[in-house]
Amino acid sequence: MNPSKVVRDNVHRLTDLPNVGPAMARDLELLGITTPRQLAGKDPVELYEALCRKTGLRQDPCVLDVFISVLRFVDGEDAKPWWFYTEERKNMLAKTARLAPNAHREL
């Protein structure tokens, strides 16, 4: 959902979350997540890596931005567009080697 339209008290389905449409909801469901509450306490990088493993494909790095945005929202932050987190993701990955070898070079 567009972050500007998210009403925290009305978040019941995955597609009620900021930046989550039908395709991202299906990705989350592929990871066993069917409700927004199940996202509490999750790590965005771990979700990203799990999705890459589950699909057998390296997902677009913007998927990680969406995961960061959703998890921050679930943790109480205001809804923000996924691209708000792009710079943070790039800085985080430049400092760590948490993703597959050489993955950070493509970001």
Average pLDDT, the chain: 89
H or E stretch at 61: helix 61-74
Of the chain, the percentage scoring pLDDT greater than 90 comes to 79
Owning domain of residue 53:
3-106
Work out the pLDDT band at 104, boundaries 50, 70, 90. very low
CATH number assigned to the domain comprising residue 68: 1.10.150
Give me the number of domains the chain comprises. 1
Tens of pLDDT, residues 15-53: 999 999 999 999 999 999 999 999 999 999 999 999 999
Label residue 33 exposed, middle or buried (CB < 10 Å: 0-12, 13-18, 19+).
Answer: middle
Look at residue 105 in the predicted model and tell me its pLDDT.
Answer: 43
Look at residue 99 in the predicted model and tell me its pLDDT.
Answer: 55
pTM of this structure: 0.86
H or E stretch at 74: helix 61-74
Whether 69 contacts 80, CB under 8 Å = yes
Alpha carbon distance 101, 3 (integer Å): 33
